[in-house]
Amino acid sequence: MRRVRNRPLEAVTLILLATTLTACVAFAPLYARAMQGEATVQQLDRAPSLATSLVLTSTTTYDESDFTSAGPTSAPLRVDELMDVVPDRVRGYYGTPVAGQTANATVEHGAPNSTGTVISQPDQCRLVTITDGACPTAPGEILVSDTDRKIYGIRIGDRIRVTGERFQKVQPDGSSRAITTGVRLSVVGSYDAADWSERDDRWAGNRLGGWSGTTDPGPPPKRFHDAWIADENTFSENRTALLPAQASYVGLALRKSLVGPDEVALLAREIDRLRAELLTRTGSDISVESSISAIADDLEAQAETARVTVPLLMAQLALLALVVLWLALRAAAEERRPEVALVRLRGGGRRGARRFVVRELLPLVLAGVPPGGVLAILGCSLSRWWLMDGDLGVPELDLRLLLAVGLAALLLSAAVMVVAHRFGREPVAQLFRRVPLRRPLWRVGVLAAVSVAAATSALIAIILGDATGSVALGVPVLLSVVVGILLAHLTGPVSALFGRRVLRRGRLVGAIALLDAARSGTAARTVAMVTVAAAAAAFSTNAYAVAERNWSAAAAHRAGAAVVVSAEGGTVAQLRAVATDADAGGDHATPVARIKSPGTDAPQVLAVDPESFARVALHPGGEPSPDVWTALGVGDAEPLRVTGRRARIRVIADGLEARQPDGHRTPVDLSLHVQDESGAWETRVAQGLPGDTTVRAAFAMSCEDGCTVTGIRLRTVPGSSIRGQLSLDRFSVDGNAIRLDPRGGWRPVDTPEVTVTSTADDGTVGFDIRTSGASITDLSTTWLPTTVPVVATEARAEVTQDVIDTAPGLDGLSVPTEVAGTVAHVPASNDRTLLANLEALERIAPGRPDAAMEIWLDSPSLVTTVEQSLSDHGLVITDVRRQSALDRELRGTTAAWSLRLALVVGVLGLLLAAMVLIVVAAAGWRAGTRDLAALRLSGVSARGVRRMAVAAQLPAVLVGVAAGTVTGVVAARIALPIVPFFATDPEVSLLDLSTAWWAVVPAAVVALFVLAGTGALIGVNLSHRSGVDRVREAV
């Protein structure tokens, strides 16, 4: 206590510095762990519950090697048997299991002609809302959905015969024959399936509703019905006929509150092991459904980043703290110079001197260790709350904290030992000097030389790519160490040179300031430390600003628009109607169809309405030129619109004949291509047209709600050739005359097999036809595009040399395309995606598209309207993607938290640099004030001395801040390309790493303000202490 009482300020400073250093060292593992924990929490929160849950499904097995056999080879496991498969080690992390059975329910003959599932689960009638009838209680009793009742006309009391399991029946002759049984199900009630139109873990991931009326493409094509809820005995084996494809399932929802990073890893390991084990298991077919392994992999990747980044950042801060502590320890040891001299004087020897210094300083620095540990815990808790939006609770404490605190204690002890050792080596006679001798200005110490060499080597390793990833965050400190040390060694000679010049010009204040900077080592230390701190501040501010820019750009790109509502189950016309309902002007909502082809590298098409898409979509990679949207236009060709049921037309054949190669005549049939919102079809107009004949044809159109005639088709026998003229006129539907010469007219055909020219006049259209072996000749109006203009990304265009002649259409079939322009990137899509006009593609393939349908909105305020409208139009919402959520998601990764930590490190670095200034000044205050006192003695006024004292502090700070800022910016150029901004690299890179000057300049100004302000205060303080009596102090 005496040493604290004797030098209280020094003791407090040393304890505080030791606390800071310990906190820095101990904070790293705590924060890294907290990041892992928070990443786990956020990842689990973001993941759908089905992704985190564990679903085991045991299905009926069939002998797939024998196609002739029929019937199952084994039944699914019972629910209790399936439960036993779940490893005991993971059971505790999951909630109460949900178990039940499903089977296929297909009606092949009779009503309702549909397919779907039948499901049973205990307490099922408490889960669903029964709207009519009663809960099934006997085998074969089912509940159907209200929608099924509406669509398929099912009534309560109906008996539905579904296809049962196939069995082998042994014939009297010993052979066997497969027979298919039927199972009768009785409808005893109905339930509301609207609440169950998404997969739900209360049904172990089964989706009950949203199926009814949607189509199973087959073959054979069939419509789906919603899940039918059956009594559990419906699945019993002792029934005479079994439902096919029976399965039992067990669903276990993850208890997220019990799961941390280690538990996720454990679950992933156990589930992977279970999967592998079940693959080799015979006698039952059990599938394991859980995405926990993918989550664990992602978390492990993030943890890897955290394990490198945080120690690296904190090492920089710890290094700064260590340097400050080192300076403070040296100053403290210097303060004890007379005492050490006495130890040597009384024969203590070097060992005695060392022991004395250690005994004086070690207890003080070790006293800072426990509070440092506590500070690290508090800091971690605060950082988790502030930087990660986590809670304020105590972070997870484990052995790593103890090890880190031990390491800090070791570092502190080592620092004290080194200081004591240096002091012990000093000759006795030197110890009697109150102020140690100064080394020559140009002399470079071993420590400085080693530091520069090590830092340079590390830098070269990073620049050459031997060190990558988060290690790049070490660039600024390494570069600034090199620059700082070099500058520190230049400071003395350069200041002396300038000082003498300024002195010759008679400017006393400036000259004294510069000469003092040259003479004392304080300026060199200040320059070095300020350079390092300013570099860290400039780098971290720049890195964070660049990261913010890139996160925003990535979120905007991934989202595509402020909000994107995805849906399924409707037509493009319905989708367009929803967009119009939400925003008739197309300023805030736009319909988009995303067409995907199979295969990972296959091109995608984003079918858009160019005009509204240009207004609503976000283009963070660069706004496309308006020409791009014009190029996507469909032209001004007029559709040939008809409305009605009965059509009439006059067909005039003039020398029209079709002949086979052997000269035989063949008939020519004429039909019209017609389409409406639901699809396209062909309507036959006339048969057997050859020769010179005039036919007045009457035919059905089925166009009560309006159709578009897109073309005519001439069909003959394959291999035949057609020649002659054909005219069509007097076309009317339900008595309304229709002109056959719409604006744009008819498209001529000129291929090796078919040549057709057309003339149109006053509602009449004539064709001159010459075909060669083509059995079908299609003639279309120009309203129906033959080639769709597409806009490719610059990357795609470069790869394909602007030749992209096909792309998938709305029906999944290829359509001819041509590149009409390029954009930097297609919003919410990869760089293989093409932009096309939705209407153009719809004209080619009307009806329900084989594509994901989306409504893009420029504001969240329209989401409710759009959701309601989608529901009204019979579309099922599958997802709502928000730019703000993606923004948050990108900022909620360890990569982002690391960069935020860098910002904090930058700020703390500045504060530590300010402490360096104070410690350096305190260490040299005796000599400094004596010099100033000498000036007072020689007649310089108190004001003049104050100005000199302040001015003496500023050059080093100015040089340090300027050099540090430049170093930080240069370091950013080197490091940012290898700093991970994202947990996983985005598919489309919009990285913009240009310097964020708007952030760097204020950071430099703040650094200058803080450090120059501190320097000025120190100068004022020194001048106050520089009374003339200081001169009398012995040296």
Q: Which residues bind other proteins (CB under 8 A)?
A: 2-3, 5-6, 338-339, 341-350, 352, 427-429, 432, 1034
**Which residue in this structure is represented by tokens 């719409």?**
742
Question: Which residue number, 156 or 342, has a Cβ lying nearer to other proteins?
Answer: 342
Report the distance separating Cα 882 and Cα 888, nearest Å: 10
Closest distance to other proteins from the beta carbon of 936 (Å):
24
Among 605, 608, 609, 585, which residue's Cα sits nearest to residue 596?
605
Closest distance to other proteins from the beta carbon of 347 (Å):
3
Closest distance to other proteins from the beta carbon of 431 (Å):
9
Longest distance between any two alpha carbons in the chain, whole Å: 137
Closest distance to other proteins from the beta carbon of 344 (Å):
7
For 662, other C-beta atoms within 10 Å of its C-beta total 6
Q: In what order do the strands lie in the sheet with 834-837?
A: 806-808, 814-823, 788-793, 834-837, 604-608, 589-596, 852-857, 563-568, 876-882
Closest distance to other proteins from the beta carbon of 509 (Å):
28
**Token code pair at residue 349:** 């020897």
Question: Which residue number, 519 or 888, has a Cβ lying nearer to other proteins?
Answer: 519
Residue by residue, DSSP assigns 213-258 as T-EE--SSPEEE-PPEEE-GGGG-TTSSS--SS-EEEEEE-B-GGG
Closest distance to other proteins from the beta carbon of 435 (Å):
14
Helix (H, G, I), strand (E, B) or coil at 677: coil
Question: Which residue number, 3 or 161, has a Cβ lying nearer to other proteins?
Answer: 3
Closest distance to other proteins from the beta carbon of 359 (Å):
11
Report the distance separating Cα 520 and Cα 527, nearest Å: 12
* Residue 254 near residue 54 (C-beta atoms within 8 A): yes
Helices 292-335 and 522-559 pack at an angle, to 10 degrees, of 170
b/e code 972-990 from CB counts within 10 Å (16+ = b): bebbbebbbbbbeebebbb
Among 552, 556, 554, 572, which residue's Cα sits nearest to residue 564?
556
Question: Which residue number, 138 or 345, has a Cβ lying nearer to other proteins?
Answer: 345
Pair type for strands 754-761 and 749-750: antiparallel
Question: Which residue number, 169 or 351, has a Cβ lying nearer to other proteins?
Answer: 351
Among 682, 738, 736, 750, which residue's Cα sits nearest to residue 713?
682
Closest distance to other proteins from the beta carbon of 342 (Å):
7
Report the distance separating Cα 530 and Cα 921, nearest Å: 14
Closest distance to other proteins from the beta carbon of 415 (Å):
24
**Token code pair at residue 211:** 């199926």
Question: Which residue number, 79 or 431, has a Cβ lying nearer to other proteins?
Answer: 431
Report the distance separating Cα 652 and Cα 532, nearest Å: 92
Closest distance to other proteins from the beta carbon of 434 (Å):
9
Closest distance to other proteins from the beta carbon of 429 (Å):
5
* Residue 807 near residue 814 (C-beta atoms within 8 A): yes
Report the distance separating Cα 526 and Cα 517, nearest Å: 10
Question: Which residue number, 3 or 519, has a Cβ lying nearer to other proteins?
Answer: 3
Question: Which residue number, 167 or 432, has a Cβ lying nearer to other proteins?
Answer: 432
Closest distance to other proteins from the beta carbon of 1031 (Å):
16
Give, in degrees to the nearest 5, the angle at Cα 744 between 743 and 750. Answer: 150
- Phi and psi at 723, nearest 5°, equal -140, 150
Question: Which residue number, 285 or 360, has a Cβ lying nearer to other proteins?
Answer: 360
Closest distance to other proteins from the beta carbon of 425 (Å):
11
Residue by residue, DSSP assigns 593-625 as EEEE-SSTTS-EEEEE-HHHHHHHS--TT-PPP
Closest distance to other proteins from the beta carbon of 6 (Å):
4
Question: Which residue number, 399 or 1034, has a Cβ lying nearer to other proteins?
Answer: 1034
Question: Which residue number, 399 or 429, has a Cβ lying nearer to other proteins?
Answer: 429
Question: Which residue number, 278 or 441, has a Cβ lying nearer to other proteins?
Answer: 441
Question: Which residue number, 341 or 632, has a Cβ lying nearer to other proteins?
Answer: 341
Q: Which amino acid is at 284?
A: S
Question: Which residue number, 343 or 905, has a Cβ lying nearer to other proteins?
Answer: 343
> In 753-841, at which residue ranges do the beta strands (DSSP E only) sit?
754-761, 764-771, 776-780, 788-793, 806-808, 814-823, 834-837
Among 416, 300, 317, 319, which residue's Cα sits nearest to residue 368?
416
Question: Which residue number, 2 or 505, has a Cβ lying nearer to other proteins?
Answer: 2
Closest distance to other proteins from the beta carbon of 357 (Å):
14
Report the distance separating Cα 297 and Cα 269, nearest Å: 11
